[in-house]
Structure 1
Amino acid sequence: MPGKPQDTDAVLEAQYNNRALVPDHPAVMARWKAGSEAARTAHPPEILHYGPGARERIDWFDAGKGAPVVVFIHGGYWQALDAGWFSFVAPPLLAHGVSVAIPTYDLAPTIRLGWIVDQMRAAVDLIHDRTGARPVVSGHSAGGHMAACLLSEGGAWAAISISGVFELEPLIPTSLNAALDLNPPEARALSPIHWPAPAGAVLDCIVGGAESDAFLQQSRDMAEHWGALGAETRFEALPALNHFTVLNPLFDTDSPMVERLAALAHARAAC
Structure 2
Amino acid sequence: MELITELDDAYTNAAYIPGGDDYPDRWAQAAQMWRTREAHDDHARLDLPYGQGERERFDLFLPEGAPEGLVVFVHGGYWMKFDRSYWSHLAAGPVARGWAVAMPSYDLCPRVTIGEITAQIARAIDVAAGVVDGPLVLAGHSAGGHLVSRMLEPGLLDKDVAARLRKVVPISPVTDLRPLMRTSMRDDLRLSEESAVVDSPVLMAARLEVPVTVWVGADERPAFLDQARWLAEAWEAGHVEAEGRHHFDVIEPLEIGDSGLVEALIG
Give the TM-score normalised by the residue count of structure 1.
0.86
- Give the aligned partner of residue 251 of structure 1: 255
Structure 2 stretches of 5 or more lacking a match?
A: none
Shift of 1:35: 1.6
List aligned pairs for 1:136-151, cutoff 5 A.
136-151=137-152
Structure 1 stretches of 5 or more lacking a match?
A: 1-7, 228-232, 264-271
CA-to-aligned-CA distance 1:195-227 (integer Å, 9 cap, x gap): 145464111111111111111111111111111
In the alignment, is residue 54 of structure 1 matched against residue 58 of structure 2?
Answer: no
Cα separation, 1, equivalents of 2:251 and 2:110: 26
List aligned pairs for 1:37-116, cutoff 5 A.
37-44=32-39, 45-47=44-46, 48-63=48-63, 64-116=65-117
After TM superposition, the runs of 4+ consecutive aligned structure 1 residues lying more than 4 A away are: 8-11
The alpha-carbon distance between structure 1 residues 11 and 173, as it changes in their structure 2 partners (threshold 3 A), is: closer
Cα separation, 1, equivalents of 2:166 and 2:193: 29
**Matched position secondary structure for 1:130:** coil
Contact 2:59/2:103 (<8 A) preserved: yes
Shift of 1:65: 2.8
Could you say what the CA RMSD is over the residues aligned between the two structures, in angstroms?
2.0
**Matched position secondary structure for 2:7:** helix
- Give the aligned partner of residue 30 of structure 1: 25
The alpha-carbon distance between structure 1 residues 108 and 134, as it changes in their structure 2 partners (threshold 3 A), is: farther
The partner residue of 2:178 within 160, 169, 174 is: 169
- Give the aligned partner of residue 266 of structure 2: 262
Shift of 1:21: 3.2
The alpha-carbon distance between structure 1 residues 92 and 207, as it changes in their structure 2 partners (threshold 3 A), is: same
Letter in structure 1 aligned against 2:16: L
Cα separation, 2, equivalents of 1:241 and 1:177: 28
Structure that is richer in helix per residue: 1
Shift of 1:66: 4.3
Worse-superposed segment, 194-203 or 209-218: 194-203
Give the TM-score normalised by the residue count of structure 2.
0.88
Cα separation, 1, equivalents of 2:136 and 2:197: 26
**Matched position secondary structure for 1:177:** coil
- Give the aligned partner of residue 191 of structure 2: 182
Cα separation, 2, equivalents of 1:211 and 1:12: 16
List aligned pairs for 1:123-162, cutoff 5 A.
123-133=124-134, 135-153=136-154, 155=162, 156-162=165-171
Corresponding residue pairs, total: 252
Letter in structure 2 aligned against 1:131: V
The partner residue of 1:235 within 236, 239, 245 is: 239
CA-to-aligned-CA distance 1:70-92 (integer Å, 9 cap, x gap): 00000000000000000011122
Query: Share of identical aligned residues, percent?
Result: 35
The partner residue of 1:213 within 207, 222, 231 is: 222
Cα separation, 1, equivalents of 2:206 and 2:226: 18
